Chain A
Amino acid sequence: MVTTLDKVDVVTVGVGWTGGIVAAECAKEGLKVVGLERGRERGTEDFAIVHDEYRYAVRYELMQDLSKETITFRNRRDQKALPMRQMGSFLLGEGLGGSGTHWNGQNWRFLPYDFQIKTMTDEKYGANKLPPEYTIQDWGITYDELEPYFDRFEKTAGISGEDKNPFAGKRSSDYPTPPMKKTPILKKFESATTNLGYSPFMMPSANLSEAYENPDGQQINACQYCGFCERFGCEYGAKTSPEITVVPTAKDTGNYEIKFNSNVVEIMKEGDRVTGVRYFDTVTFEEFIQPAEVVVLTSYMLNNAKLLMVSEIGEMYDPETGRGTLGKNYGYQILPGASGFFDEKMNVFMGAGALGMTIDDFNGDNFDHSDLDFIHGASLSITQTGNRPILTNPIPPDTPSWGADFKKASIENYLKSLSIGGQGASMPHRDNYLSLDSTYKDIYGVPLLQMTYNFTDQDRAMHKYVSERAAEIMQEMGAKTVVGGSPISDYDIVPYQTTHNTGGTIMGAEPETSVVNNYLQHWDMENLFVVGAGNFAHNGGYNPTGTVGALAYRCAEGIINYSKNGGSLV
């Protein structure tokens, strides 16, 4: 038996950054908003005993319970996809705040090049720079059009940074708060990259350098550099998260309600409109329908794509013909880099998730690709996020992985090793896409999402080139032993890499090539919005959250306009 609830103006599926931003903006405009969150309520008060590497970083306390739902995966179309039974390559979030609770706080704006990648690449290098199976396309929006929304998100989050990156898009205002402390480890990177002729700058950070009140009146505290950000929540309320900013802002209006333990399984539709969503109470397994004027998919990008697929909204992408858009251009992040072993002990256990310095000299089209067999690149950063002992066991090459020599080397080098990491762009490829699995189901009986993904020649070439640059920097930093990132071959879903999955519900200028328009409004159903990193037509050379936040503000504006005037927003 299904209970149908009273209709609301807006329902969001998931309450993290995107769900929180949409709720805050719409509720301020007087719209009645309900957020359906499948996880539990949580907040700063739950993180008093969070300095626990084993529970949070190793056993994934804040992450999704895969016994209920996972995805299936294969590298190639001719393989059988099998379930991701254990979390590994990426960590799916769950609960209020979503991944916005356990992120590191590295907050970027994608480059102007990213949004017009097809046009700009063709103009500069000709139309055949990449073989045709690389399905790069413009995003249907420019950096300049998105700039006010980047600005808005950075002010909500109080981002700490400095406007010293010569390759960044133009900013309408400076960072809301000054950069974090420049530690001795960061200074090593700064002088090495300066010596090599590059342009280092402090990483834009959502671990705030000083206490800050955002335009909505929410208070964010100053970071204490405790070294527990990624995979953890912040016990100080100093790492900007939805539950300390946009969620209370939405609640303060009196127009917002969050229903926890509510797992949406279907988007309801009638003709060319959606009418609401169907969800399960995860505690009682009761079923409800929440009718709404506007439905907004604000869960993780994988789940957004899945909900459209199981609800049969939009045309599924077909890798054979290239037709269809839903599931197309799934992207990941390529991670070039280098490690270095030093003579001196350093305070590697102190830190913050976005305490770092970066160069963009090998990102985007900031360097000439004429003689290179790839496009785009990676931001290269040193970060001091707080190395913890279970997962940090650096050993020089040829050291055994266990036994007496391992113990000695891993203890000896724990305080004496540093890494330079690249956030590398991921170019979409015809054979990398999302679809529905025909065998495996979640506990609600809904098919699992199926991922078909492998690294491409473009990825391998870029990874090799940028890793070499990273190794040169590490050498210049004075490491006695430098180890460049080993070449990538096939994508492996087991070891942790990054939770920067993108695509599948991409945005664009035409319905033939994208799922949503540049207000993140669905092309086929004008009262349905889909927002998140799934909108990225490719993944850029940065962490995604800054761009996701900007898109969410853009989406909120679209919903408000739509609620007043109806119709397509473009």
Chain B
Amino acid sequence: MAKETKNYSRRDFLKTSGIATGALIGGGIIGGLIGANSNNNNASSNAPAPSGEQHGEGSAGGVRGLMFFKNDAEFQILANATERIFPEDDLGPGAIGLGVPYFIDKQLAGAYGENSKEYMQGPFEEGQTTQGYQSRLKRNEMFRQGLQLMQQEAQSRFETDFVELEGEQMDEILTAFQEDEIEMKGVSALFFFKLLRMATLEGAYADPIYSGNEGMEGWKMKGFPGHQASYINQIESEEYVEIEPKSLGMQH
């Protein structure tokens, strides 16, 4: 049964995650974003229901919670950082509107966060950059440390919480990570930044079955039709063919 889905906007996110919206209105990342994403959801979507609706719907598919993070403040730092990396704009939703923070939370709770399919035996030694990752730190430990350091940087540079910062101030801190100016234990700040950036893109564009790419809005922005059985009848077309995207979750 198709149900009316409400788009999951940044405002919903702030509301449901317990941050007072008013406190953030001044933040650079909020200006103009509220409401910008409220009417462009496609009713035909069977994709995982937006997580903003935790009130009353009651269906298992309609709720969403945290699997890795235990502390909402930490999760908010993650959310704000991903939104700076992939912000909402006139093309469509940003990381928060796409559910990226929840995508990352889930991934950190599983094989990705635990580095399950990777060689984690010692001895651990620092190598050349060309030799790749050499730390005993797991990704979920790395994220936790990185987010705490973002908060510390916000305090030391601006004497306030990371989530209270103006967008440009958040960017300054993210850039410090990217330029490896922040000291991290067991990993370089640049490595963590690259991981965070990549995880954000993964959440924006992975099939919605992973809880990101809400409403397939990431695909719609980009013009990627997702899971299609065949292009044999279109591949010789001289013109770009616009195709309504489909999720793997829609075939069941």
Contacts and interface: CB of A to CB of B under 8 A. Distances in A.
A74 B127 CA distance: 9
B205 A390 contact: yes
A168 B236 CA distance: 28
Contact of A53 (B87, B178, B206, B236): B206
Contacts of B121: 83, 440-441
A490 B129 CA distance: 10
Interface string A408-430: 10010011000000000000000
Contacts of A259: none
Nearest to A387: B224
Given A52-B207, A407-B87, A184 B237 contact: yes
Interface stretch (A343-351, A356-364, A519-527): A343-351
Given A225-B232, A347-B235, A493 B131 contact: yes
A224 B171 contact: no
A393 B86 CA distance: 12
Contacts of A73: 131-132
- The main secondary structure of chain B at its interface with chain A is loop
A82 interface: yes
A183 B224 CA distance: 18
A79 B134 CA distance: 15
A388 interface: yes
B240 A408 contact: no
Interface stretch (B18-26, B141-149, B157-165, B215-223): B215-223
A216 B237 CA distance: 36
A306 to B, nearest CB: 15
Interface stretch (A21-29, A143-151, A397-405): A397-405
Given A67-B120, A75-B128, A411-B222, A183 B235 contact: yes
B205 A344 contact: no
Interface in B98-147: 111-112, 115-121, 123, 125, 127-134
- The main secondary structure of chain A at its interface with chain B is loop
Given A347-B235, A492-B129, A226 B120 contact: no
Interface in A157-180: none
Contacts of B230: 224-226
Interface stretch (A84-92, A194-202, A278-286, A316-324): A84-92
Contact of B219 (A52, A70, A225, A389): A389
Nearest to B209: A52
Contacts of A374: none
B197 A70 contact: no
Contacts of A408: 89, 91
B90 to A, nearest CB: 9
Contacts of A54: 202, 206-207, 210
B112 A389 contact: no
Interface in B176-214: 178, 197, 200-202, 205-207, 209-210
Contacts of B205: 53, 388-390
A407 B235 contact: no
Interface stretch (A57-65, A538-546, A556-564): A57-65
B125 to A, nearest CB: 6
Contacts of B234: 347, 350
A1 interface: no
B232 A224 contact: yes
A347 B237 contact: yes
B15 interface: no
A224 B229 contact: yes
A67 B118 CA distance: 4
B44 to A, nearest CB: 19
Size band of the interface chain B makes with A = 35 or more
Contacts of B206: 53-54, 58, 390
Given A54-B202, A59-B112, A349 B235 contact: no
Contacts of B218: 389
A86 B118 contact: yes
Size band of the interface chain A makes with B = 35 or more
Contact of B225 (A52, A69, A183, A349): A349
A225 B251 CA distance: 19
A181 interface: yes
Contact of B125 (A80, A183, A349): A80
Contacts of A494: 129-130, 132-133
Interface centre among B112, B207, B225 (most CB of A within 10 A): B207
A52 B84 CA distance: 26
Contacts of B251: 49
B231 A226 contact: yes
A47 interface: no
B119 A403 contact: no
A157 B171 CA distance: 53
B130 A403 contact: no
A349 to B, nearest CB: 5
Nearest to A491: B130
Interface in A468-501: 490-494
Contacts of B197: 401-402
Contact of B231 (A74, A224, A389, A414): A224
A491 B132 CA distance: 11
A351 B218 CA distance: 21
A66 interface: yes
Nearest to B227: A51
A52 to B, nearest CB: 6
Contact of A407 (B89, B171, B209, B227): B89
A439 interface: yes
A211 to B, nearest CB: 13
B116 A74 contact: no
B238 interface: yes
A79 B201 contact: no
A508 interface: no
29 contacts: A51-B248, A53-B207, A58-B202, A67-B120, A73-B131, A80-B127, A82-B134, A84-B119, A88-B132, A181-B235, A183-B236, A184-B237, A223-B232, A225-B235, A226-B230, A227-B231, A345-B240, A347-B241, A388-B205, A402-B85, A402-B86, A403-B85, A407-B87, A408-B89, A415-B223, A439-B123, A440-B121, A493-B131, A494-B132
Q: Which 4 A-B pairs have the closest CB atoms?
A: A54-B206, A345-B240, A350-B231, A224-B230
Given A402-B86, A402-B178, A407-B86, 9 more contacts: A52-B227, A74-B131, A83-B134, A86-B115, A225-B231, A349-B224, A390-B202, A414-B223, A492-B130
Interface of B: 84-87, 89, 91, 94, 111-112, 115-121, 123, 125, 127-134, 171, 174, 178, 197, 200-202, 205-207, 209-210, 218-219, 221-232, 234-238, 240-241, 248, 251
